[in-house]
């Protein structure tokens, strides 16, 4: 019997998770990607991302062991100007993206190829193509503005400076808050490769970059060169109604479906989970919609908190700095550690972040599949 065919646009993380799951369910899967090879957008890849994640349970949920690509962080100081706290980093991981051998994309690509998934590179989603796409086509185009424009999905543009390359340290990160950007500066290193990003919702001046560079040199003793300016990365945060599994007859997958933490914009755990959910939308639409709605149930409230409360507090970096200086950074570190140990005594419980998966979720899914 001829296999049913599914077309996917976007050979990134979520697109490949969806493809692997569909191939395992007996579908012939073809992934199209606008780039000439795998590894995503070359404007900022290879890169390293940080995410809180319960990687064992997430792997079980999606049915793919992605844990070899996730390395636990050793430290992640958070700076408000030069004042710093060290929150515990249990369940916080660094993951490499792009086309290097140690990346998550390489791990997924190898599994996808083994499962018989076919790839067509240099094949961009376009208005012409959208008109003729078969039912159940999956769109997993990540954070590129053109796909959002083509599909009429509300987005917010981001701006920033990034620098990346080989380095002599791993599994270390920092975060920096300052008035010169609306979001944050952060560096993560893993597999002896670093990615440093200073990003904002407003254009970031060369003076702001200079300020960040002087901070990293002063406080971390690190100087990165080869900075490039990034424009055109977008996030689906323009509206609190952004999360959508189905749109104009297509299935959305990954960040473009709004499956992204609306506060700090962590997109890795949402991307992985939504790959599985988008695949389910092909062979079990009801469960897929239920899972999509369940995972995204807090999107509206968190989106509201970020837009209407955090955005008012965030520009006052001094306001965060003062209590740290008053209480003492190391005393505050101890307090935060104790509080986190109370909630999570062995450092192994899933964090209460959006898109946390529990063992119960995995069991429910299995039960559902066997009905
Ligand atoms: C610079 C940067 C830093 C980030 N840092 C973090 C972090 O530290 N922690 C975290 O949790 N999240 C982070 N994120 C967010 C996270 O990486 C994304 O949310 C996640 O990778 C999205 O996965 P995805 O599968 O949706 O898309 P991707 O993995 O980005 O894949 C999208 C694919 O679609 C292809 N594509 C795009 N447009 C088209 C088109 N028109 N036609 C065909 N193919 C197309 C691309 O080439 C790419 O291969 C960051 C994002 C960026 C951009």
DSSP string, 80-130: ETTEEE----TTEEEEEESSSTTSHHHHHHHHHHHTT-EEE-S----HHHH
Judge contact between 249 and 330, C-beta under 8 A: no
Which position has the token pair 């755990």?
A: 269
Ligand 1 close to Cβ of residue 266 (< 6 A):
yes
Distances (CA, A) of 154 to 20, 33, 63, 238: 29, 22, 31, 5
Q: Is the CB of 257 under 6 A from ligand 1?
A: no
| Spatial distance between the Cα atoms of 308 and 75, rounded to a whole number of angstroms | 31
> CB under 8 Å to 371, separation ≥6 — which residues?
none
Is ligand 1 within 6 A of the CB of residue 195? Answer: no
Residues 259 and 298 sit within 8 Å (Cβ to Cβ): no
**Cα 20 to Cα 22: distance, rounded to the nearest angstrom:** 5
**Tokens at residue 211, please?**
């300020």
Instruction: From residue 63, give the alpha-carbon distance in Å to each of 2, 20, 66, 111.
Output: 25, 9, 9, 12
Q: Which of 282, 266, 229, 278 is nearest to 353 (CA)?
A: 266
Per-residue pLDDT of the chain (371 residues; tens, 9 = 90+): 688 999 999 999 999 999 999 999 999 999 999 999 999 999 999 999 999 999 999 999 999 999 999 999 999 999 999 999 998 888 899 999 999 999 999 999 999 999 999 999 999 999 999 988 998 999 999 999 999 999 999 999 999 999 999 999 999 999 999 999 999 999 999 999 999 999 999 999 999 999 999 999 999 999 998 999 998 789 999 999 999 999 999 999 999 999 999 998 999 999 999 999 999 999 999 999 999 999 999 999 999 999 999 999 988 999 999 888 888 888 888 888 888 777 776 666 666 666 778 888 898 888 877 66
Buried b (16+ CB within 10 A) or exposed e, 62-78: bbbebeebbbebeebbb
Contact 277, 291 (CB under 8 A): yes
Closest C-alpha to ligand 1, atom 19: 267
* CA 143 to centroid of ligand 1, rounded, Å: 5
Number of H helices, E strands in the chain: 13, 16
CB of 94 shorter than 6 A to ligand 1: no
Task: Give the residue, by CA position, lying nearest to ligand 1 atom 7.
Answer: 49
15 ligand 1 Cβ < 6 A: yes
Q: Which of 7, 8, 9, 12 to mutate to test the pocket of ligand 1 (most atoms within 8 A of CB)?
A: 12
Closest ligand 1 atom to the C-alpha of 16? 25
Would the CB of 7 count as within 6 Å of ligand 1? no
> Pocket of ligand 1, candidates 43, 138, 141: which has the most ligand atoms within 8 Å of its Cβ, to mutate?
141
Pocket perturbation via mutation, ligand 1, pick of 267, 277, 355 by most ligand atoms within 8 A of CB: 267
Q: Please enumerate in sequence order all residues whose Cβ is within 8 A of that of 96, keeping only pairs 6 or more positions apart, or say none.
A: 46, 47, 48, 69, 102, 103, 104, 190, 191, 193
Report helix, strand or coil for 211: helix
Strand 138-139 to 5-9 pairing: parallel
- Tell me which residue of 287, 260, 265, 262 sits closest to 276, measured CA to CA: 287
Could you tell me if the CB of 12 is within 6 A of ligand 1? yes
- By most ligand atoms within 8 Å of CB, the mutation choice from 8, 9, 10, 199 for ligand 1 is 10
In order of their start, the domains of the chain are 5-310+348-370 (3.50.50.60)
- Between the CA of 40 and the centroid of ligand 1 the distance, in Å, is 7
Residues shown for the chain: 371
Q: How far apart (Å, rounded) are the C-alpha atoms in residues 56 and 234?
A: 29
Can you give the pTM of this predicted structure?
A: 0.95
């Amino acid at each position: 019997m001829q296999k049913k065919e599914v077309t996917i646009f976007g050979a990134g993380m979520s697109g490949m998770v969806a493809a692997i799951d569909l191939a395992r369910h007996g579908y012939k899967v073809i992934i199209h990607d606008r780039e000439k090879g795998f590894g995503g957008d070359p404007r900022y890849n290879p890169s390293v991302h940080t995410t809180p994640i319960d990687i064992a349970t997430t792997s079980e949920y999606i049915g793919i062991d992605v844990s070899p690509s996730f390395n636990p962080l050793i430290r992640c100081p958070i700076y408000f100007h030069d004042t710093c706290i060290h929150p515990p980093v249990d369940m916080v991981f660094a993951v490499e993206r792009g086309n290097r051998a140690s990346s998550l994309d390489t791990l997924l690509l190898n599994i996808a190829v083994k499962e018989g998934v076919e790839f067509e590179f240099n094949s961009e989603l376009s208005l012409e193509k959208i008109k003729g796409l078969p039912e159940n086509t999956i769109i997993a185009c990540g954070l590129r503005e053109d796909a959002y424009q083509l599909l009429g999905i509300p987005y917010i543009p981001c701006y920033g400076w990034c620098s990346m390359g080989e380095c002599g340290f791993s599994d270390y990160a920092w975060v920096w808050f300052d008035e010169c950007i609306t979001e944050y500066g952060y560096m993560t290193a893993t597999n002896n490769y670093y990615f440093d990003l200073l990003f904002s919702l407003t254009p970031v001046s060369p003076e702001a970059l200079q300020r960040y560079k002087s901070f990293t040199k002063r406080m971390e003793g690190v100087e990165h060169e080869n900075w490039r300016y990034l424009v055109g990365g977008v996030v689906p945060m323009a509206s609190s109604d952004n999360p959508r599994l189905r749109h104009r007859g297509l299935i959305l997958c990954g960040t473009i479906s709004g499956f992204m933490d609306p506060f700090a914009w962590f997109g890795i755990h949402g991307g992985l989970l939504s790959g599985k959910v988008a695949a389910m939308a092909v062979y079990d639409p009801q469960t897929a919609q239920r899972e999509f709605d369940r995972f995204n149930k807090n999107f509206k409230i968190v989106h509201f908190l970020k837009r209407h409360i955090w955005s008012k507090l965030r520009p006052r970096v001094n306001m965060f700095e003062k209590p740290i200086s008053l209480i003492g950074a190391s005393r505050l570190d101890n307090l935060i550690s104790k509080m986190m140990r109370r909630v999570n005594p062995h450092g192994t419980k899933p964090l209460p972040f959006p898109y946390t998966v529990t063992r119960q979720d995995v069991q429910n899914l299995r039960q559902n599949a066997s009905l």
